[in-house]
């Protein structure tokens, strides 16, 4: 099962998937979603600029990463899920955030 399937099965509507920094920045600037899931690095590029746009727009986000949360200064204050992660846990966290 991939992430999109897991989120759909968990009752969430996936607004979109960004595979590059530019796609993710464009989506963040549109802001047509309630919460975002950010991989700490997209194709080796830090997701920090995306987090900055989301923070400025007050859009909550979850960071998923194989790195420790303390190693990602830009992600401080965001919800964090370490890789590998459990889809059920992630869906529960998103449910908490979305209310």
Q: What are the chain's domains?
A: 3-98 (3.40.50.2300)
How far from chain centre, in Å, is Cα 86?
15
> pTM here?
0.91
CA distance 42 to 38: 9
Are the beta carbons of 3 and 38 closer than 8 angstroms? Answer: no
What digits encode the pLDDT tens for the residues 40-81?
998 889 999 999 999 999 999 999 999 998 899 999 889 999
User: pLDDT band at 1, cuts 50/70/90?
Assistant: low
Name the strands in the sheet holding 79-82, side by side, starting at the edge strand that comes first in the sequence.
36-39, 61-65, 79-82
């Amino acid at each position: 099962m991939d992430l999109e399937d897991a989120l759909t099965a968990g009752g969430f509507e996936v607004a979109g998937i960004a595979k590059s920094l530019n796609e993710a920045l464009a989506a963040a600037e549109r802001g047509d979603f309630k919460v975002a899931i950010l991989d700490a690095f997209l194709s080796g590029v830090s997701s920090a600029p995306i987090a900055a746009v989301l923070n400025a727009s007050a859009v909550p986000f979850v960071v998923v990463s194989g790195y420790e949360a303390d190693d990602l200064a830009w992600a401080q204050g965001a919800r964090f899920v370490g890789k590998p992660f459990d889809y059920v846990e992630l869906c529960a966290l998103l449910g908490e955030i979305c209310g």
